[in-house]
């Protein structure tokens, strides 16, 4: 019953969760973190998962990233759009035919402090077995993508929080996976930096035709970025509401349209949180 | 529309680099140089001068006869002569070789032991507390057994040096591996570091500061064990630094005795300083070193 597979599913789904549950602990202490969550994410779609604390958002991303295994249900990360990523031709596919797990970004940059910025971005390329020359080109290209071309030789601690998070984004992009998972990646940043990184992320998402599953508790952020917002309930995490954001891009986080979408989602979220007080 | 987008992109990039420049400006390194070196050195020199001064004053009070406690003048004169003797250089070579061989063996043993205990739950349950117990055992207490087992020989000294140093090194490794931030492990696994690669590219470098701390402590134990060993296990054919200390006492050569003690002190300080340099280099790379002046 429980399986995580990367077999090609269908051409219309990039990430498919079906009846995914996650239980932590055993017996009387068991906590149901996720309860039969089903979600299909189309290739190239930007989906924001929103929920109050304790709704299992991060658990869900860990499961999709393959860092944890579900207690029930299936998770498929499709192969169908892998070919459209910026792959270099002639490279053999990943060993045993399994795709690398989707790239995952955390709230913290989680950079390796003993490596320079460039070496941080290079490590996934090294682990994939790219040649030195190939790696050098890719690192330069990735750092340019996040506008940090001049900072390759710095150490992470010499950079600001926003810059570190951009390095983390470049490192994740180095995996060349079509699916990008983001766990409140901008939660620790100041508002101005966050707004700029929204623009950056949107640009990179468009350019690279990525599929993004983005977790946040910030409803405005979700309305600014998402094609679709999915609301999760708390304890256990269940999908209770979904809405498509049809506001044309580029959007501004302080625009009336974004505010209107955010207001609607916030109302739903408040109702859900209020349910726990009763 | 397309033109619009390009303009927006450029503006966006400019704002971003402007913000970067603002943030980075406050993080520039403070230039150090000669003045910083002097600021770190003069208190040490002053302390040494003060210690020698107190020593001289005690000698002047006539508390002990000069043949038991000579003053700094005769001792440093004798030290100068001693450093020119072949006995000193032979002794230094013997002692340095024992220290190096013993410490390297302890490093190899400690690293393997530490890694094994850090990885295996059974080994940890079995050996974890035993390693700490071994660490608290004064290494000089091993010598009677070592002499029974190996007589008055090189092996006896080697045995005790390794036993003295290895537990600290193993503990450093265990501590280092245990305290690798889980977030870095998750990040490492996500970017494709599995199995041995995870150890090589993530766990080992993340544990390095703790491992170096363990090595430094291990060295201190090795050096103490070695000196104790050279005093107890005097091998007539080999004139180590420690053996010469014993001879100096037996021949009542007080100046030579204190001169040798100064040599031992300085040797220990040198190696400690070398560890300090490595430790600081690591911490600077990691951004853990706070500049003292803000």
pLDDT (tens digit per residue) in B100-146 = 999 999 999 999 999 999 988 899 888 888 898 888 888 889 999 99
Q: CB-based contact (8 Å) between B192 and chain A?
A: yes
Domain boundaries along the sequence of chain A: 113-176
The minimum CA-CA distance between B96 and chain A, rounded to whole Å, is 32
Give residue-wise pLDDT tens across range B254-291: 999 999 999 999 998 899 889 989 988 888 888 776 54
Rg (CA), chain B: 27
List, in order of start, the domains of chain B with CATH numbers: 73-285 (1.10.3720.10)
On average, the pLDDT of chain B sits at 88
Contact A236, A57 (CB under 8 A): no
By CB neighbour count within 10 A (0-12 exposed, 13-18 middle, 19+ buried), where does A177 fall?
buried
DSSP summary character for residue A237: B
Q: What is the pLDDT of residue A80?
A: 42
Contact B114, B168 (CB under 8 A): no
Return the closest-CA partner of residue A15 out of A1, A26, A4, A27. A4
* ipTM for the assembly: 0.83
Q: Is A176 helix (H, G, I), strand (E, B) or coil?
A: coil
- Please give the residue of chain B at the shortest CA–CA distance from A119: B201
- At B71, is the pLDDT very low, low, confident or very high (cuts 50, 70, 90)? very high
Q: Residue A104 and residue A82: Cα distance in Å, rounded?
A: 16
Q: What is the pLDDT of residue A2?
A: 43
> With an 8 Å Cβ cutoff, are A65 and B190 in contact?
yes
Q: What is the pLDDT of residue A84?
A: 36
List of chain A residues whose C-beta atoms are within 8 Å of the C-beta of residue B197: 127
Q: Residue A36 and residue B41: Cα distance in Å, rounded?
A: 67
Residues in chain A, pLDDT under 50: 1-10, 80-98
Q: What is the pLDDT of residue B28?
A: 55
pTM over 0.90: no
Return the closest-CA partner of residue B108 out of B150, B153, B161. B161
Give residue-wise pLDDT tens across range A95-126: 334 456 789 999 999 999 999 999 999 999 99
- Please give the residue of chain A at the shortest CA–CA distance from B196: A127
Phi, psi of A183 (to 5 degrees): -105, 90
Q: What is the pLDDT of residue B184?
A: 94
- At B243, is the pLDDT very low, low, confident or very high (cuts 50, 70, 90)? very high
Q: What is the pLDDT of residue A100?
A: 60
- A-B CB pairs within 8 A amount to 98
List of chain A residues whose C-beta atoms are within 8 Å of the C-beta of residue B193: 123, 127
Q: Out of B24, B190, B201, whose CB is closest to A104?
A: B190
> With an 8 Å Cβ cutoff, are A200 and B202 in contact?
no
Length of chain A: 278
């Amino acid at each position: 019953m429980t399986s995580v597979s990367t077999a090609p599913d269908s051409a219309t789904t990039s990430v498919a969760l079906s009846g995914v549950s996650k239980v932590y602990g055993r017996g009387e202490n068991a906590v149901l973190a996720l309860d039969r969550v089903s979600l299909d994410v189309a290739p190239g779609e930007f989906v924001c998962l929103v929920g109050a604390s304790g709704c299992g958002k991060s658990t869900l991303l860990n499961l999709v990233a393959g860092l944890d295994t579900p207690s029930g249900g299936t998770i498929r990360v499709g192969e169908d759009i892998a070919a459209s990523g910026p792959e270099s031709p002639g490279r053999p596919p990943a060993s045993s035919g399994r795709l690398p797990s989707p790239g995952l970004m955390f709230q913290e940059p989680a950079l390796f402090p003993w490596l320079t910025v460039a070496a941080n971005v290079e490590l996934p390329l090294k682990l994939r077995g790219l040649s030195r020359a190939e790696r050098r080109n890719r690192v330069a290209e990735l750092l340019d993508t996040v506008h940090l071309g001049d900072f390759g030789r710095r150490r992470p601690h010499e950079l600001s929080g926003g810059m570190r998070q951009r390095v983390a984004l470049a490192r994740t992009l180095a995996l060349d996976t079509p699916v990008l998972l983001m766990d409140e990646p901008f939660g620790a940043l100041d508002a101005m930096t966050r707004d700029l990184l929204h623009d950056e992320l949107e640009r990179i998402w468009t350019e690279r035709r990525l599929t993004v599953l983005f977790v946040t508790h910030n409803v405005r952020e979700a309305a600014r970025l998402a094609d679709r917002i999915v609301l999760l309930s708390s304890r256990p995490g269940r999908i209770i509401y979904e809405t498509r954001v049809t506001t044309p891009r580029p959007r501004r986080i302080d625009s009336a349209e974004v505010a209107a979408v955010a207001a609607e989602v916030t109302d739903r979220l408040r109702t859900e949180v209020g349910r726990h007080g009763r | 529309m397309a033109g619009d987008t390009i303009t927006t992109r450029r503006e966006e990039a400019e704002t971003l680099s402007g913000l970067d420049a603002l943030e980075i400006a406050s993080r520039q390194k403070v230039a150090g140089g000669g003045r910083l070196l002097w600021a770190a050195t003069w208190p040490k020199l002053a302390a040494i001068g003060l210690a020698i001064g107190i020593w001289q004053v005690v000698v002047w009070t006539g508390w002990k006869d000069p043949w038991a406690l000579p003053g700094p003048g005769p001792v440093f004169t004798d030290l100068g002569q001693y450093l020119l003797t072949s006995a000193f250089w032979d002794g230094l070579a013997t002692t340095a070789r024992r220290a190096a061989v013993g410490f390297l063996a302890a490093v190899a043993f400690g690293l393997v032991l530490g890694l094994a205990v850090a990885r295996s739950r059974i080994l940890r349950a079995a050996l974890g507390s035993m390693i700490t117990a071994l660490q608290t055992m004064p290494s000089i207490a091993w010598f009677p057994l070592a002499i029974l087992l190996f007589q008055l020989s090189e092996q006896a000294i080697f045995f005790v040096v390794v036993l003295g140093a290895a537990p600290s090194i193993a503990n450093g490794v265990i501590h280092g591996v245990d305290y690798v931030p889980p977030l870095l492990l998750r990040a490492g696994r996500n970017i494709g570091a599995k199995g041995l690669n995870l150890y090589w590219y993530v766990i080992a470098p993340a544990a390095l500061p703790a491992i170096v701390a363990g090595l430094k402590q291990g060295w201190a134990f090795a050096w103490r064990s070695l000196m104790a060993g050279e005093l107890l296990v005097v091998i007539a054919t080999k004139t180590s630094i420690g053996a010469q200390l014993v001879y100096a006492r037996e021949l009542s050569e007080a100046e030579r005795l204190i001169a040798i003690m100064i040599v031992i002190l300085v040797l220990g300080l040198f190696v400690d300083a070398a560890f300090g340099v490595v430790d600081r280099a690591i911490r600077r790379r990691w951004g853990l070193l706070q500049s003292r002046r803000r």
